[in-house]
A and B are shown apart, each in its own frame.
Chain A
């Protein structure tokens, strides 16, 4: 793998993570205004569809080697040690950059997610009180599911930004393991009996 291919891979991965963050942010914004059953089913369906899109983007991030080769072209391959260093440095830089950019653009959502997490326990007791009240069980159950999904999306968005800002270490480790070409298999010449 060449230096330019590694940089292209890292930039593509950073862009992909930024897209995932933007999608999560949009879902979180929709949830801020979602109340009641009418919204519940539609939004849960939307979340499932968006999860599929996010998985698709993440799958593309994990397999962006071919696109990187197309973008960067061919060239002299680096040795394995230099490949590892370039991969770790460029992926970490692009992840941190994507995280900082997401944080700068979504400070409202981040504050909201932190406030929601802080209010989780009092709100949860309120939901369960509503749930055990007679009648309206189905309606309350849907509202409860909607609220839990809303919290999870907020928390997921927050965790995603923090993970990117920490440099996505496990992702980079996995990328290094995947991307660095395996060592050439060397067959040791058999020693003749005469030696």
Chain B
């Protein structure tokens, strides 16, 4: 295990704590759906489903980011036997991949914490509503769903995004070095 693995493990532990704490308002919102049910079984079912999804997400966060974080760290960094990185350039792909996975988890968390809002919107859509209000409900659902593709792409490590950023960073380093070289030559 090298430094990169340790950093990834620390980041995952911190992220797990952040997400667990952040799930509390979403869970409270889902439980609040029960009080709005007033005997309506469809709302009760939606509320149960919402609580179930949040609990499932919490369990998944615990399992992946705490219990299996070594496996995930190896997948992000590579084999545990690789040498210590000597230059920041060797850190770059791992660092970009790590922030993409972290951002992907945050996107997924946003989706899960908005589930009760989407479910509420779905429940009210089934009732006869004014068109303007129905549009607003659809928009709430759409805003929750649009987060999912971002989350999936980032959780997969966003390979194109990472490759592009690494290439651009190296170009930037080379460019600034070249500029400075010419400036140094002019000074001399």
Contacts and interface: CB of A to CB of B under 8 A. Distances in A.
B165 A84 contact: no
Contacts of B146: 107, 111
B165 A92 contact: yes
A100 B173 CA distance: 23
A177 B168 contact: no
A97 B99 contact: yes
Contacts of B36: none
Contacts of A103: 103, 150
A96 interface: yes
B99 A177 contact: no
B95 A108 contact: no
A149 to B, nearest CB: 23
Interface in B98-149: 99-100, 102-103, 106-107, 110, 139, 142-143, 146-147
B172 A107 contact: no
Interface residues of B, number: 32
Contacts of B87: 82, 85
A99 B159 CA distance: 18
Interface stretch (B27-35, B58-66, B176-184): B176-184
B110 A167 contact: no
Interface stretch (A33-41, A55-63, A153-161, A168-176): A168-176
B5 to A, nearest CB: 18
A104 interface: yes
B-side interface mostly:
helix
A-side interface mostly:
helix
B172 A169 contact: yes
A13 B87 CA distance: 22
B10 interface: no
A96 B99 contact: yes
Contacts of B142: 111
Interface in A148-195: 167, 169, 172-173, 176-177, 180, 183, 185
B89 interface: yes
Contacts of A100: 99-100, 103, 106, 154
Q: Select the residue from A82, A97, A100, A167 with max chain B CB neighbours within 10 A.
A: A100
B104 to A, nearest CB: 9
Interface of B: 87-89, 91-92, 95-96, 99-100, 102-103, 106-107, 110, 139, 142-143, 146-147, 150, 154, 165, 168-169, 172-173, 175-177, 180, 184, 187
Interface of A: 80-82, 84-86, 88-90, 92-93, 96-97, 100-101, 103-105, 107-108, 111, 167, 169, 172-173, 176-177, 180, 183, 185
Closest 7 CB pairs of A and B: A100-B103, A104-B106, A89-B88, A97-B99, A176-B176, A88-B172, A88-B173
Given A88-B169, A169-B172, A173-B172, 9 more contacts: A86-B88, A88-B172, A89-B88, A89-B173, A96-B165, A97-B103, A104-B150, A177-B176, A183-B184
13 contacts: A84-B173, A88-B169, A89-B88, A92-B168, A92-B169, A92-B172, A96-B96, A97-B99, A104-B110, A111-B146, A176-B176, A180-B176, A185-B187
